[in-house]
Amino acid sequence: MKNLVQTACAVLVICTILIPVESAIALAPLVENNESKRSISNENRNHEEWADLLHLQMTTLMAGQNLPNAVAALVSAAEVHLLEGYGYADMEDRTEVDPAAHLFRTGSIAKIFTWTAIMQLHEKGLLDLEEDVRNHLDPAIDYPVRYRNGKDQPITFQHLMTHTAGFEDVLEDLFTFEPQPPLGEYIRRHQPARIFPPGTVMAYSNYGSALAGYIVERVTGMPFEEYVAEHIFKPLGMHHSTMVQPPPGNLADLSVTPYRRVDDRFLPGRFEHMPSPAGGLSTTAADMALFLQANLNGGTLDRDGSRGTILQKETLQRMHTPLFTHHPLLGGMAHGYKEFMVDGYRIIFHGGSSSVFDAGFYLIPDLDLGLFIAYSGGSYSGHRQVLRALLERIIPVADEESEMQLLADTLTPVTGAPKIADLTGEYFQSRTMVTGSDRLLNLIMGTLFVMPVDRKRFNAVILGEDFLFDELVPGIYRSTRETGIYPFGPLRYLVAGEAPDGRRMLMTDGPLTYIRAPWYGGSAMAVVIIGPMLLLAAGSLIALLAAFVVRKLRGSGTIEQENAPPLSVGYGWLTAHALVLLTTIILVILYGKPHPVHLLPESSFTARGWMDVLLDMLPFAVALLGLAVAWAAALSWMRRARGIFFRIHYSVYTVWSLALIWFFYYWGMLGL
């Protein structure tokens, strides 16, 4: 129960903070068409102008999101065009950010180093990208199959790199204030179920990245952090980068303090530990500039008279090659990198976030351009906002006619495409929880709501923003908005499809998609059950208290009153149920209060305590009391106990208490 409703409360707060920021990128379709590409000659590649624009946008971002500190780097393969720090690494002693010395946390950008390590081992012949990853794991590590037909199909490294392994999401211990356990222990402790057949559905997975890092340890015999330091950081001269958490030695003194502006003042945050392969990187803008340049220069970097190589040119080209997408219009995955297109120019990127840090890593190989941004105290939208401003200056915007020409070869109607009216409903991310109590978070984590407008248009709501989509051809829909919030890509198109279990699927950019929830498993049903249940519980207690007071004031002067059974006999189980239920809700709200800087409940970052155990037990208590209420209601009708009002009230309460038991069971809150 640790990350159950208290984390849900925090996610609501995070969404509230993120929603107002316009950030995503106005983009053309993800269609490679070199003939239609708008040519940008070397003479028009004004890196100095682009660097000035980046600096201006970073200054604007600092003010717009009230950031305490940030860094930015803009590079080509041979030159660093901007390397800048903003704000203060430590506000107490007013230490200004040094982009060459101060370390920022980068969240999921650590994953591209994990995938680079996997490509290195593949290059050396130590693993095959298409082999079953279990060839490198203990037999004790097993993942239960929960998808239709239950066939145990192999999971390959390519599946891990494209987030198509089919794992459910794992949130427990993703962020901790205490050191993480060794990778092997983490992998064993948090084994997820397999909810999609491998290679069918993109479902973003931190566990999959952690698993890949653990295999690096198994294959090389070196701790993951040590391997990355020796085989990636060292060859490139990235001397201020580490996967060790917290950074060791003098790097600890160079780590920036994260802050978030709260009530007109900046409050400091704490160091967050994450599984290293999924989010353990601490680095500087100068070091990331070197990594950008190596990626732009075929895996090799000439620096200070020496040459460092992390991958051979052919291997790096393969790593940058598209590997999986749900549809040619949509941004998909290369070998660990996300991708999308802007008027024929391919953007290879990866974002990263912790609860207080955000970062963006972008490569535009056709323009020989790389960008890195990191900051604390903002949102994931910030670096996308800056990228969008750069792209608007660098790449001419396509008019609608040109865009439709680019789309011509890909606008094939989807086989069996639904009518617009048939799309109506609530869609959950494929990055979903199935087997744990965290399953309840599916109700609020990036849910997509679709409502038809007419026969050719529908309205989609995601992360609190409204998007209007037009049907281009049956099954393919284009947003009428040029901007909006979405962490994985432009959200320019949606494409209708079918999930492996037969449910309707709406596919979009990035390493996840959206699958329609059953009518009984959406937020509407949750509201229908929880709302009236809480009103009944609170109303019943108020009515019982009022009745008790009235009886005391009137006394028991008549024979009829003296013979009437006390209220506690008839309403005992109902009263107990209402009290335990409301107590549970109150405790969840109090225990789930978000940390002002990290925006998640502090309990989400710490080991399980007595309150977590109590919150695990309370749903069982509510369920057992609900069964007792149902039993008492049945007896009241069989024995005709009390009056008709009593029996009707008790019966209505019983219906909702039984519905609540089903709700607890369906969302995994009973551990069954």
Read off the pLDDT band of 570 (50, 70, 90).
low
What confidence score (pLDDT) does residue 556 get? 52
Helix (H) or strand (E) holding 300: strand 300-303
Whole-angstrom Cα distance, residue 263 to residue 34?
A: 51
What confidence score (pLDDT) does residue 118 get? 98
Domains of the chain, by residue range, sit at: 5-405, 523-666
pLDDT digits (tens, 9 = 90+) for 47-90: 889 999 999 999 999 999 999 999 999 999 999 999 999 999 99
What confidence score (pLDDT) does residue 212 get? 98
What confidence score (pLDDT) does residue 344 get? 77
The conformation of residue 87, written as its DSSP 8-state character, comes to E
pLDDT (mean) for 412-436: 91
More confident residue, 213 or 524: 213
Whole-angstrom Cα distance, residue 294 to residue 300?
A: 5
Fold of the domain spanning 5-405: Beta-lactamase (3.40.710)
Mapping DSSP to helix (H, G, I), strand (E, B) and coil, where does residue 358 land? strand
Q: Is the pLDDT of residue 547 over 80?
A: no
State the pTM of this model. Answer: 0.89
Read off the pLDDT band of 545 (50, 70, 90).
confident
What confidence score (pLDDT) does residue 399 get? 62
Read off the pLDDT band of 401 (50, 70, 90).
low
More confident residue, 253 or 405: 253
The structure tokens listed for 430 are 């494929």
What confidence score (pLDDT) does residue 644 get? 81
Any idea which residue has 């040094």 for tokens?
98
Region of poorest pLDDT, from 80-84, 208-212, 464-468, 623-627: 464-468
Q: Is the pLDDT of residue 659 over 50?
A: yes
Enumerate residues 6+ apart whose C-beta is below 8 A from 60.
none
Q: Is the pLDDT of residue 146 over 70?
A: yes
The structure tokens listed for 289 are 């500039």
What confidence score (pLDDT) does residue 329 get? 87
Strand intervals (E) in 125-252: none
Q: Is the pLDDT of residue 7 over 60?
A: no
- Residues 258/268, Cβ–Cβ less than 8 Å: yes
Q: Is the pLDDT of residue 324 over 70?
A: yes
Q: How far is it between the farthest Cα atoms of the chain?
A: 106
What are the distances in angstroms from CA 30 to CA 346, 347, 350, 615, 639? 8, 10, 17, 47, 70
What confidence score (pLDDT) does residue 549 get? 83
pLDDT digits (tens, 9 = 90+) for 571-623: 788 999 999 999 999 998 888 888 999 988 888 888 778 888 888 899 999 99
Whole-angstrom Cα distance, residue 442 to residue 381?
A: 22
- Characterize the bridge pairing of strands 338-342 and 345-353: antiparallel
**Which of 394, 393, 379, 395 has the alpha carbon at shortest distance from 487?**
379
What confidence score (pLDDT) does residue 572 get? 85
End-to-end CA distance of the chain: 13
Whole-angstrom Cα distance, residue 194 to residue 498?
A: 18
Hey, how many other C-beta atoms are within 10 angstroms of the C-beta on 14?
18
User: What is the pLDDT of the chain when averaged over all its residues?
Assistant: 87
What confidence score (pLDDT) does residue 402 get? 62
What confidence score (pLDDT) does residue 445 get? 77
What confidence score (pLDDT) does residue 619 get? 93
Read off the pLDDT band of 489 (50, 70, 90).
confident
Length of the chain, please? 672
Mapping DSSP to helix (H, G, I), strand (E, B) and coil, where does residue 88 land? strand
What confidence score (pLDDT) does residue 605 get? 85
pLDDT (mean) for 212-225: 98
Q: Is the pLDDT of residue 40 over 60?
A: no
What confidence score (pLDDT) does residue 26 get? 35
Q: Is the pLDDT of residue 548 over 60?
A: yes
State the DSSP string of 126-162.
Answer: S--TTSBGGGGS-TT----B-STT---PPPBHHHHHT
Tell me, what amino acid is at 155? I
The structure tokens listed for 364 are 């535009």
Whole-angstrom Cα distance, residue 606 to residue 596?
A: 16
DSSP bridge pairs for 278: none
What confidence score (pLDDT) does residue 397 get? 65
The structure tokens listed for 365 are 């190989």
Whole-angstrom Cα distance, residue 208 to residue 188?
A: 13
What confidence score (pLDDT) does residue 538 get? 94
- Residues 348/323, Cβ–Cβ less than 8 Å: no
